[in-house]
Chains A and B, each alone.
Chain A
Amino acid sequence: MNADAVLSTPVAVVIVAIFSVFWVALGWWLGRANRSLEDYMLAGRHVGLGLATATAMATWVTSNTTMTAPQLAYQLGIWGMVGYSLGAVGLLLFAPLAKRIRELMPHGYTSGDFIRVRYGRFAWRVFLLISLFYALGWLVSLAMAGGLLVEALSGIPYAWGMTVIVVTCTLYTVFGGLRAVIGTDFVQTLIILAGLALLAGLVIVEVGFEPVHRQLAEERPGLLNLLLPASLMFLFNNLLFGVGEIFHSNVWWSRAFAFGEGVGFRAYLLAGLMWLPVPIVAGFIALAAPALGVNVPSPDMVAPLVAGHLMGEAGAILVFIVVFAALASSLDSLLAATSDLLLNDIYRGHLRPDAGEAELRRAAAWIIIALGALAWALAMPRLGTLAALLHLTGAFVASTIWPIVFGLRWGRGSGAGAASAMILGTVCGLVAYNVIGFYVAALVSAAVSLVVTTVTFQLSRKRFMFSELAATRATGP
């Protein structure tokens, strides 16, 4: 039992039960319209601007945004939260890519499809390793965040809270596929935004800017320092990390395929602009901790503790609902998109190339269940802190940025060059992570990958015909 818990256990159990049933029922109801594998995996490829913007926004607002952004503000100060908000650059820059992806691959299913056709099977396998490692890391970090939140707020043991959240998201994703994910994301976005606005508004009304600033200047002046070197490195590192996460991950590619014609560009642009201020608002809540005299035993619990201190049980309930929505909106997306990657690129691409639609539809559901079970098993030992797990994957994903960007724009480049850029970038990023710190892992990885990609594209005599991508599904793996 956590001594700082501000929400009584019975209340927490009731909230979890109500929302779990609601999300599963909504997911099942939305999934009734699914008729084909394409409906299940890509929501029929006609998602409109409202739902498209909300799902991009909600997926990127993770529990890491609502819990790690305050943690980083509390540890790294102003640049911690502003640096986290630069994660929006990934969404903004992906807008033109989403348009290009939809045009080049109108029948595509996954990011793996692109790498396989564009760079060949070796680079495809390297990419799949990176992508699946990242997806699993993100899934585990989300599951862990769920367990930590429930424990911090209500005293419910970590294992129980984490289990309920993973099971709920797995169930409604299995029932409804991407339609359920996108539909629930819309409702979850509204809850997250309204909850955060309410909490930050309350901090302003109850505490005010002047006392927050004064207390910070007295107790922790480093947090207001605009030239803190580690924070500045973090800012650029986070920017590249965000770009790498979005550019390579099938979470975003599957949405580019699912959004209606002409929707992707506008949806990602709007989602980026709306996401940009979210970590600043969430971070500000944490900066109020010194002024409120809140005891923070673990930095990744600072936001719920401030809310609980400020609003008592109502605050705890509000944060609980907001973070539950943030967790679910990302966990479901990740489950759906990663299972697409496993189904399309591993099951169909490597194991059962002749599988029919009915078999693939059944396999898709089982893969989502298996993935949920794996994330649950890995999250159970509660290894490391959320931020450490999150930043380790930065070394991997940042190495994929340039092979994807160059490969979508120019016909030059080889599979060996793309694979070398990803492998060398990742290795150097990991070395930097261990030797220097988490705040340079993505930076070093992206820099090395850029050099290798540029050189190999310059030296390459090969000219790729982009028309090959249009027929991706017709020819198969």
Chain B
Amino acid sequence: MTLSAAGLTTLVVAALAVVAISPFILIALLVNDLRKKSSW
């Protein structure tokens, strides 16, 4: 049983989408902490 080209594409595109959006989520969470003065 071999992974098809479509399977490889789906796997990598989904993973890349999460990796690409993660920095923005982290910055938003930090800004929220700073606004609430709860970063430390």
Contacts and interface: CB of A to CB of B under 8 A. Distances in A.
Interface of A: 33, 43-44, 46-51, 53-54, 57, 78, 82, 85, 179, 186, 189-190, 193-194, 196-197, 200-201, 204, 209-210, 212-214, 217, 221, 224-227, 260, 270, 273-274, 276-278, 280-281, 284
Interface in B1-40: 1-5, 8-9, 11-12, 14-16, 18-20, 22-23, 25-34, 36, 38-40
Contact of A49 (B5, B9, B20, B32): B32
B15 A224 contact: no
B30 A186 contact: yes
A197 B22 CA distance: 10
Contacts of A54: 26, 30
Contacts of B31: 50
A281 B29 contact: no
A418 B25 CA distance: 40
Judged by DSSP, the binding face of B is helix
Contacts of B26: 50, 53-54, 57, 186, 189-190, 274
A274 B20 CA distance: 10
Contacts of A78: 3, 8, 11
B12 A280 contact: yes
B18 A274 contact: yes
Contact of B22 (A47, A209, A274): A274
B16 A225 contact: no
Contacts of A274: 18-19, 22, 25-26
A281 B23 contact: no
Contacts of A281: 12, 15-16, 19
Contacts of A201: 16, 20
A33 B33 CA distance: 17
A66 B31 CA distance: 28
A190 B4 CA distance: 32
Contacts of A278: 15, 19
Contacts of A33: 40
A49 B40 contact: no
B29 A49 contact: yes
B33 to A, nearest CB: 3
15 contacts: A49-B29, A51-B40, A54-B30, A190-B23, A193-B23, A217-B2, A225-B1, A225-B3, A226-B1, A274-B18, A274-B22, A277-B15, A277-B16, A281-B19, A284-B12
B23 to A, nearest CB: 5
B23 A48 contact: no
A54 B31 CA distance: 13
A128 B27 CA distance: 37
A224 B2 contact: yes
Contacts of A186: 26, 30
Contact of B5 (A48, A210, A225): A210
Contact of A194 (B14, B23, B29, B33): B23
| The 7 residue pairs across chains A and B that have the minimum distance between CB atoms | A50-B30, A277-B15, A48-B33, A50-B29, A280-B15, A213-B5, A197-B20
Given A54-B26, A260-B38, 4 more contacts: A53-B29, A54-B30, A189-B23, A200-B19
B16 to A, nearest CB: 5
Contacts of B23: 189-190, 193-194
Given A48-B40, A193-B22, A209-B9, A227 B1 contact: yes
A226 B1 CA distance: 6
Contacts of A210: 5
Given A190-B23, A190-B26, A225-B2, A50 B12 contact: no
Given A50-B26, A53-B26, A226 B2 contact: yes
B33 A193 contact: no
Given A197-B20, A213-B8, A274-B25, A48 B38 contact: yes
Nearest to B5: A213
Residue among A33, A204, A213, A225 with max Cβ neighbours from chain B (10 Å): A213
A220 B30 CA distance: 44
B14 to A, nearest CB: 7
Contact of B18 (A46, A53, A212, A277): A277
Nearest to A190: B23
